[in-house]
Structure 1
Amino acid sequence: MKRTRILKAALSALVAVSLAVPATVDAKETKTLTIGATTSPHAIILKHVKKEYEAKGYKLVIKEFSDYPEIDPSTSDGSLDANYFQHQPYLTAYNKDEGLKKGDDGYLVSAGKIHFEPMGIYAGKSDDLKNISDGAQIAIPNDASNEARALLLLQDEGLITLDKKVKVTSTSVTLKQVKKNPHDLDLVEMDGAQIASKLNDVDYGVVNGNYALDADVTDKLLASESTDGEVAQTYGNVIAVQEKDKDSQAVQDLVKILKSEKTQKWIKKHFKGAVLPVEE
């Protein structure tokens, strides 16, 4: 009987010790990261790395947007933890337009530059840039940073001449800064997301790479930006977060996977040059 009491006491002590030590003491706490992204190529890339990211103990929730105007506001107000759809000039313009400054709640910053989508001139009703007709209509994006980029591409192709003040980083370019237009081109400003679908209505369109992929018009490409140098570095697409979240482990782990050699090789192969990783 005495031996039985001793065994029961020992067993009770062992149970007490087991209960006192959490079963998941060495397990990494799951952190959910909700990220907003336009469908192509951003959400496609995120879905590709989702399994690898979640293997690190996270949960990645990808919210897809067909258009981008609401993504930054949703990140600023905390509805999204991060976003992936824009380049730095667009992000800078957003903060400026919203009156947000460094240190403000909702101020957005880049946590890492991931890929570059060469902007291109695509054929519409016409497909010959070398013998372009006088008065030809060319659709260009109407937001400040992408409009500058489109006009610089047209200048690189010898179609127009811009004010010398227009630079890759300009965020307040207008058509008034077109100083020479020898073919009297009709530059039509419109929502950048709509240009690819309107190519049949204009002679040419200057389209962002992601929209060209979405609309499956990459076979209509006539000319595109160089994939090296200042343009690629400036317009590399970033993971954007509120300033206070930039150095969080969840964000940095995602950026590290997206910038890995493995992911970069996949981007090059999957998008066949329409999307390219940014090398820093």
Structure 2
Amino acid sequence: MKILKITAALLVALNLYAKSDDKTIIIGATPIPHAEILEEVVKPLLEKEGYKLDIKIFNDYVVPNIATEQGDLDANYFQGLPYMKAFNKDNNTNIVPTVGVHVEPMGIYSKKIKSLDELKNGDIVAISNNAADSTRSLNLLEIAGIVKVKDGEYKNPHDIIENPKNLKFVEMESALTPRALKDATIAFININYALDAGLKPVEDALLLEGKDSPYTNYVAVKAGNENLPKIKALDKAILSQEVKDFIIKRYNGAVIPSF
């Protein structure tokens, strides 16, 4: 993690972050749907309230949390509570949620099979290497009746206790899972990365988490900043009816409002 902290420090040194003030909100987000929601709906709403929203786009889940912890971002918007909790524990950070915005159901995708019933002995499964997404993936595979996994708050392929098809699990960064489709039989892909890769979750996923998924995506800040006026303004704008209507219309069930 020392290398990752250096990476964040270099970003600051290279002047990639704007200067924050009481009327400027610098927020980090992954491209779709997070940055899209912020750019198209939240930004103009905040402008009406006298705030400037400066959106920094990231293609990973690590640097935006480090940048938020270090104060280079006022907030970020890309993660659920299980990931946030695990990240804080592993990195000695103090990132906290403010408001829950939407659910992005995890999905199982494939370029090689049309149904999970077609899985064969020894097939390769691409899965995220972070604790929260690995847990979601294995829970989904267990719901499908393909494996059985030990109980626990967090799960990884080592926790599989029954694997009758002898599936081979390859762990990788979440952002890389769409690329794994050319080699793996199936891949577990977060919807933001699926959308970014041109996949249509409702149509393309072999299996998708239900609407009761507990993995709501939150706006997050460094502990102690939750009640800053500009964060309260951000929270109000992102929980607006305009945002809810946009999510429903734009993503057609692939992203589900949580408020």
Which TM-score band (shorter chain)?
A: 0.7 to 0.9
Q: CA deviation at 1:177?
A: 1.1
Whole-Å separation in 2 of the counterparts to 1:63 and 1:247: 22
Q: How does 1:217-228 map to 2 (within 5 A)?
A: 217-218=199-200, 219-228=203-212
Residue 265 of structure 1 aligns with which residue?
Answer: 245
Superposed CA offset, 1:237-280 (max 9, x none): 1111011110112112211221222211210110111111113x
Residue 57 of structure 1 aligns with which residue?
Answer: 50
Q: CA deviation at 1:176?
A: 2.1
| Matching of residue 235 in structure 1 with residue 230 in structure 2 | no
| Paired letter, 1:67 | D
Q: How many residue pairs are counted as aligned between the two chains?
A: 236
TM superposition score normalised by structure 1: 0.81
The alignment-based identity, stated in percent, is 38
Q: Which runs of 5+ in 1 are unaligned?
A: 1-28, 101-106
Residue 68 of structure 1 aligns with which residue?
Answer: 61
SS in 1 for 2:61: coil
Superposed CA offset, 1:66-105 (max 9, x none): 22221100000001110011111111111111224xxxxx
Query: Is contact 1:117–1:210 with CA below 8 Å preserved after alignment?
Result: yes
1:181 is matched with which residue: 155, 160, 163?
A: 163
Superposed CA offset, 1:206-230 (max 9, x none): 10000000001224311110112xx
Superposed CA offset, 1:130-168 (max 9, x none): 2321211111111111101100000011110111x23xx
Superposed CA offset, 1:178-199 (max 9, x none): 0111111112111111111220
Whole-Å separation in 2 of the counterparts to 1:239 and 1:251: 9
Whole-Å separation in 2 of the counterparts to 1:195 and 1:124: 13
Residue 276 of structure 1 aligns with which residue?
Answer: 256
Q: CA deviation at 1:57?
A: 0.8
Which of structures 1 and 2 has the bigger CA Rg? Answer: 1
Whole-Å separation in 2 of the counterparts to 1:226 and 1:140: 19
Give the RMSD, CA atoms, in angstroms.
1.4
1:121 is matched with which residue: 96, 108, 119?
A: 108
Structure 1 runs (4+) deviating above 3 angstroms are none
SS in 2 for 1:130: helix
Residue 43 of structure 1 aligns with which residue?
Answer: 35
Q: Which runs of 5+ in 2 are unaligned?
A: 1-20
TM superposition score normalised by structure 2: 0.87
SS in 1 for 2:120: coil
| Paired letter, 1:91 | M
Whole-Å separation in 1 of the counterparts to 2:171 and 2:83: 17
| Matching of residue 196 in structure 1 with residue 189 in structure 2 | no
| Matching of residue 130 in structure 1 with residue 117 in structure 2 | yes
Query: Is contact 1:124–1:205 with CA below 8 Å preserved after alignment?
Result: no
